[in-house]
Amino acid sequence: MKSNAQRAREQLTLTPDVEFTLQEDGLIGALYRPKKDQYPGKAIVMLGGSDGIYPLTQMVAEVYVQRGITILALAYWNEPGLPDCFERVPVEPVEKAALWLHEHGYQKVGLWGISMGSMLALLAGSLMPGLISSVVAVCPTNICGQGFVKKKGIAKLECSAFSWRDKDIPWAGLQLSKGAILRDSFREKSMSLRSCYLDAVQNAPEEAQIPVERIRGPILLLYPQYDAMWPSEIAAEKIAQRLKAHSFAYPVKQVGYEFASHMLIPIHTRSKAMFQVERKHPEECRKSDLDSLEQALAFWKEVW
């Protein structure tokens, strides 16, 4: 039986203009340039989620590239030579990708990240405001979370999910257990870690909250109005409130979808069936997925 990664790889249609390797470049990624650049001088670093399927990130990148924007799809874990769990995953590959893009003529570099990739995108934007000038966070969270490993279930680790300059980024503890995941998933009729993250999202100490106000550019938050996987709708509101409290000087936009899952991406994948809303309202979810694409493209065109 083919893995999800193999199926995703087989669906790739574009040849990368540049492929990055750990040995040559210190990162794993693929740069795609559009045939007709509709966003001159702009490029996006794209970050997938905790599924760890890098070819899926490339599939999403292809959709955006076909609409005229340069994308660097970046693997930050679960590829040979990279961390195989969320244990102090370095943020530095995002920095390397952004530096490369600036060095090759892109004046503006933004980030697009989903789920754990949104955590990374918001963290990276706050840590390197001189390099990153826009963040699109899909199904976001407002915290840096506790590390965890996905082997025969999920187990938490006593460390941060991410690191910067070889130090743990301050993190919020999770109420993560097999029992909680089973209970949540049964209640939601979907794969769910909602209660595992709920307290952290609502009550994390200040040091574990992502200092999104340090980002120097516009921020777009895309999420389901109710996210069964983790409470991204609550996190998005927390992010918006924090930005307002700090008199954030750049545009901020929130878009919540009545019918959408944690896989709010403009492509069809079999794994969407993990979520009850996708099974019950496939057409409505598909419209939300496609609208998320349009929202990001318009955001980059109009306010960035």
Read off the tokens for 11: 């669906």
CATH number for the domain running over 4-144+209-302: 3.40.50.1820
**Pick from 223, 93, 184, 197: which is nearest to 143 by CA?**
197
CA distance 135 to 120: 10
Instruction: List beta partners, residue 138.
Output: 114, 222
Task: Judge if pTM exceeds 0.85.
Answer: yes
Strands 219-224 and 252-257, bridge-based pairing? parallel
pLDDT in tens, 197-222: 999 999 999 999 999 999 999 999 99
Instruction: Specify the 3-state DSSP secondary structure of 114.
Output: strand
- 109 phi/psi in degrees, rounded to 5: -125, 125
CA distance 50 to 52: 5
CB neighbourhood size of 26 (10 A): 14
For 46, 81, 118, 294, the CA distances from 61, given in Å and listed in that order, are 7, 22, 15, 14
Q: What H or E segment, with its residue span, contains residue 163?
A: strand 162-164
**Pick from 242, 270, 240, 243: which is nearest to 256 by CA?**
240
Every domain of the chain and the residues it spans: 4-144+209-302
**pLDDT tens for the chain, residues 1 to 304:** 666 777 778 788 889 999 999 999 999 999 999 999 999 999 999 999 999 899 999 999 999 999 999 999 999 999 999 999 999 999 999 999 999 999 999 999 999 999 999 999 999 999 999 999 999 999 999 999 999 998 777 889 999 999 999 999 999 999 988 888 899 899 999 889 999 999 999 999 999 999 999 999 999 999 999 999 999 999 999 999 999 999 999 999 999 999 999 999 999 998 899 999 999 999 999 999 999 999 999 999 999 9
SS3 assignment for 26-89: CCEEEEECCCCCCCCCEEEEEECCCCCCHHHHHHHHHHHHCCCCEEEEEECCCCCCCCCCECCE
Surface-to-core class of residue 193, CB atoms within 10 Å of its CB (0-12 exposed, 13-18 middle, 19+ buried) = buried
Residues with Cβ within 8 Å of 105's Cβ and at least 6 positions away in sequence, in order, are: 41
